[in-house]
Amino acid sequence: TRSLLEDTSETDIMDKHDATLSTYMLSADHSNLYMSTGLASSYGALQLSSSSDLPIDMRRRGKLPPRCVTKEGKCKFEARNVEQKSLRFLGDIFTSLLEVRWRWVLFFLCLVYFGSWSFFACGWYGILWIHGDFENFGVADWKPCITNISNFASAFLFSVETQHTTGYGFYHLGDECPTAIILLCIQSIVGVLLEGLLVGLVFVKMSRAKKRSATLIFSKYALICQRDGKLCFMFRVGDVRTNTHLLETHIRAQVIRKRTTLEGEVINFFQEELQISGNKEKSGKILLFWPTTVVHHIDSSSPLYDLCPSDLTCHNLNFEIIVVLEGIVESTGLTVQARSSYLPSEILWGYRFEELQTTKSVSSGERIIDYSLFHETFPVTTTTLSASELDLSIPKQET
C-alpha cells in the first residue's frame, strides 16, 4: 500500500480528493466528522501513510478544549433565562432536595421542624390568650384550657410535646376549650405527615446509588488499533468493588460534534451512536466481574469511518465521545450510572492496552487483579489509513 501511494501522481491525488469531497457532500450518514475538513483529512492521511507507520501519541497535545462531560461524569451545562425556573424547581421540591448538599438538607429539616413548632405554639398561645388563661393564671377556681402554661415559652414546649408525642407531664390539656382539642388533632396529623416526608427524604438520599459510580472507572485514554484486520475504537472499564457486582450492565457511546446540513442548518450538538460491545455481539451488554475492554468496530456505518490520525491533531476538528455505563446494584436493586468522555487528544492511534496481571490466592482460590496497569498502553503496528481508505485498499492489494 505504501509503495502504491508513493507512486501516485499529484493529479491522481487531487482527483481522489475531489471524489472524496463529493462523497461527503452526497452522503450525510457516512460523512466525516466535519464535512468542511474532509479534503484536508484525506490529504493528511495520504501523506502520513506514505511517510510513517509509527503510532500517534496525542498525550502531549496541550490545553484541552471545553468538554460536554468531564472525565468524572459531570455534565458541563447550565440552564439560564428559563421562565419561572424557581417555581418549576419548587414544584419538584422532593427531587430538588435530593440533589442539594447534605448541609442544605439538614438546614431544611431544622427550618421545617422549628417552623412547625413555632407555628402551632402561636396557635396555642392565641387560644389561651383569648380564653383569658394568662390573666387568671394561678386563680384557684379558674379552669384553663391547658394547665400550667403562663407564657409563650411554655406554649412552645407544649407544641413540641404534642407534635412528637413525647407525653404530657407538667402541661396537660383539659376539656374546657373545644378549639384547643381541634388544634391538638390538627397538629398530631401534621406531625405524622412531616415525620414521614422528612424521614423518607433522608432515607432516599442516603440509599441512592450515586456514590456507587465512584467505584466504576474508565481508562484515561481511548485507543484505535486493528483487531482481526479491522480498525477498532477501544476503551477499558472496570469495577473495583468485588463483593457485590452490577447486574444487567450495558454501555453506550455517542459522538457529539458540530454538523452543518446541506441546507445550511448548524447543529451544535449533533449525536451519533457508536455500536459497541464487549464481545462479538453489538448489544452493548457486558459482564463487569473483571476489567473489560469495550470495542467499537469502525465500519461503513460508523461515524468514525473516515477518521484518520491527522484528524486527531487538527485543532479545527472538535468532537467528543461520551460513554455511559448503567447497571443494577446487586445489594440494593437501584440503578447506577457512570459517565466519562474522550476528546480527540485523548484518543491514541496505534496503541493497545496492557494485559492486567492476575494471580490466584492459595488460601481462598480467588483471582487477584492488579489494577496498576489499568491505564497503561503500548504501541502496536497499525495502519495510518482511515477505515474507509483501508476498505478501498484491500481490493487493490488482492489484484
CATH numbers and ranges of domains, the chain? 55-71+220-398 (2.60.40.1400), 88-207 (1.10.287.70)
Residue-level pLDDT at 220: 94
pLDDT single digits (tens) 310-323? 888 776 678 899 99
**Reported confidence tier of residue 280, pLDDT bands at 50, 70, 90:** low
Residue-level pLDDT at 75: 86
Phi and psi torsions of 97, nearest 5°: -70, -30
- Lowest mean pLDDT segment, chosen from 28-32, 127-131, 245-249: 28-32
Report pTM: 0.66
Neighbours of 167 (CB within 10 A): 7
**Reported confidence tier of residue 35, pLDDT bands at 50, 70, 90:** very low
Mean pLDDT (whole number) for 112-121 = 94
Higher pLDDT, 47 or 151: 151
* Residue 59 pLDDT exceeds 90: no
Cell 445489594 found at: 331
Residue-level pLDDT at 245: 84
Is residue 68 classed as helix, strand or coil in its secondary structure? coil
pLDDT single digits (tens) 308-366? 888 887 766 788 999 999 998 888 888 889 999 999 889 999 999 998 877 776 566 67
**Reported confidence tier of residue 7, pLDDT bands at 50, 70, 90:** very low
Alpha helices in 141-235 (DSSP H): 152-163, 178-207
- In Å, what is the CA distance from 378 to each residue of 57, 196, 224, 264? 10, 56, 12, 43
Average pLDDT along the chain: 78
Mean pLDDT (whole number) for 41-53 = 34
Residue-level pLDDT at 1: 35
